[in-house]
Structure 1
Amino acid sequence: MGFQPAANGMATEPLVPSNDGERPLTVLVTGFGPFQDRFPVNPSYEILKLLPSTFTCLSGEKEIQIIAYHHPIRVSYEEVRRLVPVIHASYPQGVDLILHIGMASGRTFYTAERSAHRDGYEKNKDVDGQTLAADHGQTFFGDCDPILRTSLDYERVLQRWKWNLQNVPESSAAYGADCRGSDDAGHYLCDYIYFNSLAWLARNPTPRADGAANERPVMFLHVPAESDPRMLYKGKEVALALIEAMVESWIESTDAEMV
């Protein structure tokens, strides 16, 4: 089965039917491209490329398809604002959850972000040397709250993510990984793509199979800047553990609403 063309002509990943013929639960993942001369390799996109296309969770009962966005996103405010709506619209069959991955230089730990900011991007320049005007958020996102949060049960996801990683074998690359929660995504491109994605989903809720709307089933993962093979495989396992936690929390909340 090949790629399915979207309405805008971009190629999208096919949704592969599960063994029982049902549409699999899908998770879209994005990563960033190079950042300045110091980081010619951005680990976020390299980690994305290592993720499997499918895996199972909930003791093997649920098949998950990971859709890796096929191009690293430039560390550019203008590019992110232009591209996020295109990415979302490029999957006419819909995706269930979204994980954006980005790099946090100077950190040795991994953070799952709860919130994203509309304002406060006047200081930190992107790869084009650009910042955003103080009124940018109000101009483009005036219909959105200054802070948007994932609609997933963040505390449940965080707890399950850590539990998943605490129970990996010693042979796993992610054994002993330091994973933390965070309520400040940093007022830079990571924060900005997270807000843009949350805003798009808030404006364009996707119906679930049970008829309810997934308001903002999206999260952001910050990873350390190191891009050697050991750290990339560690990041892959950490990201996969977070995706599994997101999926399991989402399924549990969906099942609870249908009772």
Structure 2
Amino acid sequence: MPSTKKKVVVTGFGPFSGHSVNASWVSVQELARLGLTDDIDLIISEIPVEYCTVKKIIPSLWKQHNPDLIVHVGVSSIAMELTLEQQAHNDGYDKHDISGSCPPTQCCVEGADTCIKSDIDMQHVCNEVNNMPIKIKTVVSNDAGRYLCDFSYYQSLHIDKRKAAFIHVPPLGCPYTAGEIAEGLRAVILSMLKQMAL
């Protein structure tokens, strides 16, 4: 009998310059230990900070798992809270990845829209989570940074903007632990799923 469980894919990034331990992947692993709910299959994946690999991995995650929701998590040195990204950009990718490369045209998907917004209302999620009795708070952003975070988010939004999200987390200890970040991620993801079910 096919599983009736919802499938949620959550990705974190590997190390890159200035982040030898990437808070996003540590927090995603902590989320996997915490779990979501019994009726949700949580699949996690670590993504290298590399444009050409992202272009292969993200479509394959969609194809392999056919998720109800895919959430990419990245670290931002300027984030103070969980930052829910509402949209992603298709151009302006001129920062080099861990292999010293950037897209030849500085573009994510040739000929596609300049910007794609997620159908998930991030402000609604933000308001709901900020009213929960957890330590970490959330904010909404419209600029995911024109690096691998923005790039990976655009890839997923281009595949299915109804089911894609991106969350920036602060570096570990600034001021939250991986456990506190994971608790926040769990609250955000469950709020997104609730909204999507309406």
1:44-78: CA deviations, max 9, x gaps? 1111111234416xxxxxx3332222xx2110111
Which residue in 1 is equivalent to 2:58?
A: 84
CA contact (8 A) 2:47 2:54 kept: yes
Q: Kindly indicate whether residue 196 of structure 2 is the aligned counterpart of residue 237 of structure 1.
A: no
What is the TM-score with the length of structure 1 in the denominator? 0.69
Gaps of 5+ in 2: none
1:69-111: CA deviations, max 9, x gaps? 2xx21101111112111111112xx211111100102332220
Which residue in 1 is equivalent to 2:165?
A: 219
Please give the residue correspondences for 1:41-120 in structure 2 after superposition, counting only pairs within 5 Å. 41-51=21-31, 52-55=34-37, 63-69=39-45, 72-91=46-65, 94-120=66-92
CA 216–141 in structure 1, closer or farther in 2 if over 3 Å, else same: farther
1:151-199: CA deviations, max 9, x gaps? 12333222222223xx23xxxxxx1x23210011000000000001111
* Aligned-pair CA distance for 1:218: 1.0
Which residue in 2 is equivalent to 1:141?
A: 110
Which whole-Å CA distance do the structure 2 matches of 1:106 and 1:231 have between them? 16
CA contact (8 A) 1:41 1:227 kept: no
Which residue in 1 is equivalent to 2:147?
A: 188
Which whole-Å CA distance do the structure 1 matches of 2:52 and 2:59 have between them? 12
CA contact (8 A) 1:42 1:227 kept: no
* Aligned-pair CA distance for 1:242: 0.6
Q: What letter corresponds to residue 141 of structure 1 in structure 2? A: E
Identity of aligned residues (%): 30
Which whole-Å CA distance do the structure 2 matches of 1:135 and 1:125 have between them? 10
Paired residue secondary structure (1:141): coil
Which whole-Å CA distance do the structure 1 matches of 2:163 and 2:117 have between them? 9
Whose RCO is larger (CA < 8 A, sep 6+)? 2
CA contact (8 A) 1:121 1:133 kept: no
Which whole-Å CA distance do the structure 2 matches of 1:153 and 1:178 have between them? 17
* Aligned-pair CA distance for 1:251: 1.3
Q: Give the one of 131, 146, 167 matched to 1:163.
A: 131
What is the TM-score with the length of structure 2 in the denominator? 0.89
* Aligned-pair CA distance for 1:223: 0.5
Please give the residue correspondences for 1:5-20 in structure 2 after superposition, counting only pairs within 5 Å. 17=3
Paired residue secondary structure (1:221): strand
CA contact (8 A) 2:129 2:137 kept: no
CA contact (8 A) 2:36 2:190 kept: no
Which residue in 2 is equivalent to 1:197?
A: 156
Which residue in 1 is equivalent to 2:138?
A: 179
- CA-based RMSD: 2.3
* Aligned-pair CA distance for 1:30: 0.6
Paired residue secondary structure (2:13): coil
Paired residue secondary structure (2:71): strand
Which whole-Å CA distance do the structure 2 matches of 1:97 and 1:40 have between them? 28
Q: What letter corresponds to residue 32 of structure 1 in structure 2? A: F
